[in-house]
Amino acid sequence: MEPIETVGNRIRKLREEKNITLETLSEHTGISKGFLSDAETGNRNVSSQNLLKIANALNASLEYLMRGTPAAPPNPEPLTIPAELNQAARELNLSFAHTEALLAAHRSVVARRSNEGLRSPSVEDWKELYQSIKKFLV
């Protein structure tokens, strides 16, 4: 009888298939290496918020991680951080997770507006946006 496959097993399997270390996964998700290790071994339950971060970092679907469906993980376009945001993130000493959250927040605002006449944000614009939302970032 084969052992029951768990969310943690699938996380570890994908991480190892992609040659990603726990440390790298931790950096990309903002989740501690110890927590990720415990999740993989089944010693910790993973919240939906953290599972989404892990799925994004591993380029996997939530469906796959949660249920182990045979469907292949999605293959979305790679995340591109604009140069101005990259500079602002360096100057503000932001983690990858916070930089990604800042980009997502900006995209969410832009998606709700007409794109006519919108210019690309400057480094100062990114810093101002970060100051506005930093208390909401986890």
The full set of domains in the chain, from first to last, is: 7-67 (1.10.260.40), 83-136 (no CATH)
pLDDT per residue over 29-76, tens digit each? 999 999 999 999 999 999 988 999 998 899 888 888 888 875 555 566
For residue 123, what are the CA distances in angstroms to 56, 70, 83, 130, 136?
A: 26, 43, 9, 11, 20
Instruction: Enter the pTM of the model.
Output: 0.51
Structure tokens at 88: 């602002």
Given this model, what pLDDT does residue 136 score?
A: 75
Given this model, what pLDDT does residue 72 score?
A: 52
Given this model, what pLDDT does residue 68 score?
A: 82
Q: How confident is residue 116, by pLDDT bands cut at 50, 70 and 90?
A: low
Given this model, what pLDDT does residue 88 score?
A: 93
DSSP sequence for 87-108: HHHHHHT--HHHHHHHHHHHHH
Structure tokens at 106: 């900006």
